[in-house]
Chains A and B, each alone.
Chain A
């Protein structure tokens, strides 16, 4: 009877050890998975920012190409009105260029990036 009881205890201990080992493994796996998830999230975020950066770059390049063509064009002006119009157009370009390059609405942009 005692022998039988002893064997049962040994079996239970073994079972408990296996359970603990499995729990430990599971916990370790979970931690690793969580870490991996966090790293992945961070990478995804950076790639998204990079894509936004690339997209902004392409739009700026398109804008620059358009403006470069305009600035390189010599208009044929044959009246005072036409000359005044061309000067007003250049003023408008300068204002647009200055707003695009000097002023900063980075905060608004950042807010947009954070919510993406």
Chain B
């Protein structure tokens, strides 16, 4: 394909000037061609000036979308880490230890309390961060006169948060049930000890 070389138009104009200097009889046709080219070049300059802001906008919008994609990856990783933590703790909560002493029951209760504290910390830090990031992703908007964008799969984000919520609810149920069982055991143990003490006193 022909490429416009340096000075193509200028040299064309120069050739026209030379023809005019030589009093060429068809100079009108020559000048008409030059006018046509000049008008077309002005049209191209205007088109180019209009195209640039659109392309700048494309770049800005794609950077915005890339940032959202990165945030979504982070959200996914955070949710996966939380899920792994919940999975690990569920294994602990689902394990039924054979407890036949008051000391054993108290140790188990202490362990459960530690777990509860850990869970509260995880909720206020890791889960809060997950929710905040999710909100940031879902609320982010790009909008200009040329284009607009937002995160395209919001359900995927909220679903990840729901998974954590559901798992947390499940672990809470187990935890409550364990706590009440262990409390009963400790209570029973205390009663038993009272009986023993009374028997010994008698």
Residues of A within 8 A of B (CB): 42, 45-46, 49-50, 52-54, 56-57, 59-64, 66-68, 71-72, 74-75, 77-80, 82-84, 86-87, 90, 93-94, 96-97, 99-106, 108-110, 113
Contacts and interface: CB of A to CB of B under 8 A. Distances in A.
B5 A105 contact: yes
Interface string B16-29: 10110010101001
A113 B15 CA distance: 9
B62 A82 contact: yes
Nearest to A52: B15
B2 A97 contact: no
B63 A53 contact: no
B62 A97 contact: no
A97 B45 contact: yes
B110 interface: no
A71 B12 contact: no
Classify the secondary structure of B's interface with A: helix
A37 to B, nearest CB: 17
Interface of B: 1-12, 14-16, 18-19, 22, 24, 26, 29-30, 33-34, 36-37, 40-41, 43-45, 47-48, 51-52, 54-56, 58-59, 61-63, 66
A23 to B, nearest CB: 35
B29 to A, nearest CB: 8
A67 B44 contact: yes
Nearest to B146: A74
B37 A83 contact: no
- In this complex, the member of B3, B6, B36 whose beta carbon has the largest number of chain A beta carbons within 10 angstroms is B6
Given A103-B7, A108-B11, 5 more contacts: A60-B12, A64-B41, A75-B58, A79-B62, A106-B10
A114 B59 CA distance: 49
A90 B2 contact: no
Contact of A104 (B10, B33, B37): B10
Contact of A60 (B8, B43, B45): B8
B24 to A, nearest CB: 5
Given A50-B19, A53-B15, A59-B2, A105 B7 contact: yes
A74 B29 CA distance: 36
Given A53-B19, A82-B62, A90-B55, A97 B4 contact: yes
Contact of A49 (B18, B54, B59): B18
Contacts of B26: 50
Nearest to B46: A71
Contacts of A71: 44, 47-48, 51
Given A53-B19, A71-B51, A87-B56, A106 B40 contact: no
Shortest 4 CB-CB contacts between residues of A and residues of B: A100-B4, A109-B11, A105-B7, A71-B47
